[in-house]
Structure 1
Amino acid sequence: MKIFNSQQEEKIMHAINMAENRTSGEIRICIEKKCPNEAITQAAKRFSELNMHKTALKNGVLIYLAIEDHKFAIIGDEGINKKVPENFWEETKNIMAELFKKEQFAEGLIAGIDRAGTQLRTFFPRSDDDINELPNEVVYF
């Protein structure tokens, strides 16, 4: 199940690459048709399944989207969650939701990626020996 055409998916992966080029943080996108739980619960499950909790600095961010159920969540690992303002993820979700309401799903994800990348860059700048710890492609379940 793919909801993005190849051009949209390229733009999403490009946004992830651009964000990660300036930080040691990791950003992933996870898409599924239906969400069997609350979005944040399902996002936490996928976060674990994708081994995002295993980054060296605990600075992974997952943007989860259940397309048919119109649910989404953003989950950050403990390292980034300790650094960002308390309402940061909620504000990011609000920005994304406005684009999702217009059925601009790729643009909404890119907005979330850009905001997460800015925070990651601020608190976890890229080091000379940084490696990409997790793949950047969109994951479909």
Structure 2
Amino acid sequence: MALRKISQMSQADHVLVTQAVADAERHTSGEIVTIVTDLSDHYEDMAMAWASAVAFVALVTYATFPDFYIGLIDGLTGGWGHEYTMGEYVALLLTAVALKWIGTWLILKWMPLRLALTPQATKLARVRSRAISLFKVGTEAKTIGRTGVLLYLSMKEHRAEIVADEAIASKVSPETWGDAMVALLDEVKSGNPGAGVAAAVAQMGVVLAEHFPKGTENPNEISDRLIEI
């Protein structure tokens, strides 16, 4: 399913980030790619999982206390009692459970609630997976020296990832990007995603310049512009 295209970043943010990338790459043979998205996954499976859990609890409850719920039905129908056959009772039970499932699923169409009920580990894994997928398409092996690195920010999950190409990953451990991630998230939490991405890029440039200094021949192999998807 295609994710909704948004504009989390202003034109000024685009200019700021693009300039930050250009400045960082003046001192390194590395190539920095920046991508910002509104949402990395729609978590439809989480909505279905919660709906199924609620339906199961309802099924157990109805089956455990049938007289109570049959009494409620009789009350709603004017107090006329009815001796339900096993087939009728099963039909009522399945209908009630189905309504619970559908109702819960519809409620969870509201994305803020769906995200709130999605485990942090799941969101982290989905953002990482999306970042790696985008890295493979637009950054991996796109430079002669395998020196591309992707900075990926997913706004609604409040998550960011840095994914590096083969040459960089062999010399730079994931922990080394810690300062860049802190710089990014501090600004994002303050409502300045553009400034956050630019600050992270600057920190990434410092790391890249140390391990991959600028060479005599170093064409700009990947566009510096910020990408929104």
TM-score by length of 2: 0.57
Deviations 1:4-31 (A, max 9, x none): 2222211110000001111110001112
Gaps of 5+ in 2: 1-5, 42-124
Within 5 A, what are the aligned runs for 1:61-140? 61-140=149-228
> Per the alignment, do residues 86 and 42 of structure 1 end up closer, same or farther by CA in structure 2, a change over 3 Å counting?
closer
Instruction: Determine which of 13, 23, 28 is the counterpart of 1:23.
Output: 28
Identity %: 24
Contact 1:27 1:62 in 2 (8 A): yes
TM-score by length of 1: 0.90
Structure of larger gyration radius: 2
Whole-Å Cα distance in 2 between the matches of residues 59 and 4 of structure 1?
A: 26
> Per the alignment, do residues 55 and 10 of structure 1 end up closer, same or farther by CA in structure 2, a change over 3 Å counting?
same
Residue 130 of structure 2 corresponds to which residue in structure 1? 42
Gaps of 5+ in 1: none
Contact 2:132 2:163 in 1 (8 A): yes
Alignment root-mean-square deviation, CA: 1.6
Deviations 1:45-68 (A, max 9, x none): 000111433312221111111122
> Per the alignment, do residues 28 and 51 of structure 1 end up closer, same or farther by CA in structure 2, a change over 3 Å counting?
closer
State the secondary structure of the residue aligned to 2:132.
helix
